[in-house]
Amino acid sequence: MATIVEYTDKKRPLNMYPKRIVSPVKGKACCARKMEQIGGIEREGERSYFYRRCRACGYTVRHFLSAPPPDQRSGQWENELSYLLKLVG
Ligand SMILES: [Zn+2]
């Protein structure tokens, strides 16, 4: 299943989940704090994910779920946050 997210800076951000989401191409500083889940868990092949969208700028990512490392309960979330911050920084 293809993503419903269109990444463009030529259109205004739009949330028409589950049909369509228009997202800016890049995240900004706001995204690390303002991301919220949209809709439920979806599946693509072996992987499950949900969409997360920034309330401030509309930047949207697919958040893939995987078993977190045993020694790090919130591993996946932390990893993505630092990834976002790298994009910003
Ligand atoms: Zn943002």
pLDDT by residue (tens digit) across 12-70? Answer: 999 999 999 999 999 999 999 999 999 998 888 878 889 999 999 999 999 888 755 45
The alpha carbon of 70 and the centre of ligand 1 are apart by a number of angstroms equal to 30
Task: Give the 3-state DSSP-derived string for 23-82, with helices as H, strands as E and coil as C.
Answer: ECCCCCCCHHHHEEEEEEEEEECCEEEEEEEECCCCCEEEEEECCCCCCCCCHHHHHHHH
Q: According to the model, what pLDDT value does residue 11 have?
A: 96
CA 35 to chain centre: 7
Q: According to the model, what pLDDT value does residue 71 have?
A: 52
The alpha carbon of 14 and the centre of ligand 1 are apart by a number of angstroms equal to 13
pLDDT at 85 over 70: no
What residues are neighbours of ligand 1 (ion), with CB under 5 Å? 28, 30-31, 54, 56-57, 59
